[in-house]
Every structure is written in structure tokens, then in C-alpha cells.
Amino acid sequence: MSDIWPTELRVSQDRKTLTVAFEGGTRHELPAEMLRVMSPSAEVQGHSPAQRKTIGGKKNVQIMQVEPVGNYAVRIVFDDMHSTGIFTWTYLDELGREKEARWAAYLAELEEKGLSR
């Protein structure tokens, strides 16, 4: 179970951003594209670090739905029909705190593999 607890989960009007706020005042704005390409699903992460996939072509992906999963996470349904990632509160907080570094690493991976956003 997570030590952090969300006080707000909101999808922007254009469906391109998930805002998540936690007790204590921490707040993150997470782009749909980032959430999609860093989904914790086996499809993206594989079953080991060696199997992790770099997902390109998701620049315009949108969030269709955010569904609760118990008391610890949400499932995000994207408009490309990807919906298998379970985003825990801890993972959403990590993505927010490490947003710049993770995004820079993702862009470098895309370039290295010749993929586009």
C-alpha cells in the first residue's frame, strides 16, 4: 500500500494532461504522451529491463478514461486503446518528480532508435 494519497486527479479539457495532487501539497501535471510511453504495463515495460520497449508515435495520444483500481492506483485508458497499465500513486508521484530527466532520456532513446514522437 502506498504512503502517499492523492487529493485530486483531473484530466484536462483537451484530454492531453493528467493533474495529480497529493496530501502535503505536491502537484504534478503529467502529459498523456508521457503517461502512455512510460506506462507500467507489460506491453511497454516487458517482464524484465531487457524487454522494455521504446514506444514512438504517441505525440497526439489522449486520455479517454481514468478508472480506480482498489485504493492504490488508477488504470488509464488512452485513445489508442492501450489500457493495461496500472499507475500506482507512488509511480505517478515518481513520474512527476522525475519528469524532466525521464522525458530527456525518452527523447534520447527515440533519437537513438530513429523513432519519432
pLDDT at 49: 85
At residue 3, the pLDDT reads 77
Residue 1 has pLDDT above 70, yes or no: no
pLDDT digits (tens, 9 = 90+) for 86-114: 999 999 999 999 999 999 999 999 999 99
Decide which of 117 and 49 is more confident: 117
pLDDT higher than 70, residue 115: yes
Mean pLDDT on 77-83? 97
Question: What is the Cα–Cα distance from 23 to 9, expressed in whole angstroms?
Answer: 12
Average pLDDT of the residues in 75-90: 97
Q: Name the percent of the chain lying above pLDDT 90.
A: 91
Output the DSSP codes for the chain.
Answer: --S--EEEEEE-TTS-EEEEEETTS-EEEEEHHHHHHT--SHHHH-SSGGG-----S-TT--EEEEEEETTTEEEEEETTS----EEEHHHHHHHHHTHHHHHHHHHHHHHHHT---
pLDDT of 2 strictly over 60 = no
17-67 pLDDT, tens digit per residue, is 999 999 999 999 999 999 999 999 998 998 888 899 999 999 999 999 999
Span 3-27, mean pLDDT? 95
How far is Cα of residue 88 from the mean position of the Cα atoms in its chain? 10
